[in-house]
Amino acid sequence: MINKEKIQAGVKLLLEGIGEDIHREGLIETPERIARMYEEIFGGMYEDAATHLSKRFHVKNNEMVIEKDIVFYSTCEHHMLPFYGKAHIGYIPDGEVVGLSKLARIVDVFAKRLQLQEQLTAQIADALMDNLAPKGVIVMVEAEHMCMSMRGIKKPGSQTVTIVTRGEFAKDEALQNKFFQMVK
């Protein structure tokens, strides 16, 4: 579990390290606020995506299911700065589907960790393949990274796009193109 005391101590050191007075009125409660915030934004570290995929519904139709424009917020593990954007998930059921909100929940489980976008995309796809056993999965994530927007190269508005395919999507370019047309 998250250790709030260590986070608070670390924030105090960080503030002192940048030359701030930790006893200044505006900063007195900052370590506690940061600890509570970290508990929220990194809550996915202690959550298993499989729990959200356990309730399933039987279907006869095995056509593509897409949930698009799933907004997420995550934190880059290299700079500990936010990256945020949208995830698009498509899968071909093999007799079972999950509730649509469950797709958004698994995005949140993996986004609420120190993360790399490439890894986030693969984790979502693999969780679906491992727990739902569909015929195929495709996940596309589009995000803006604050480590590129506010520091370093300073290119706000640039988008990083990652795509992962599994099962039938990995083999069938026409199926991939159908997904891309539908998420436009």
Q: Annotated catalytic sites, by residue?
A: 76-79, 117, 145, 147
Q: Rounded to whole angstroms, how far apart are CA atoms 1 and 45?
A: 9
Q: Please answer whether residues 160 and 142 qualify as being in contact, where contact means their C-beta atoms are separated by less than 8 angstroms.
A: yes
Cα-based torsion angle of the residue sequence 121, 125, 130, 134 in order, rounded to the nearest 10 degrees: 180
Q: Does the CA dihedral 65-69-72-75 come out positive or negative?
A: positive
Chain-centre distance for alpha carbon 26: 32
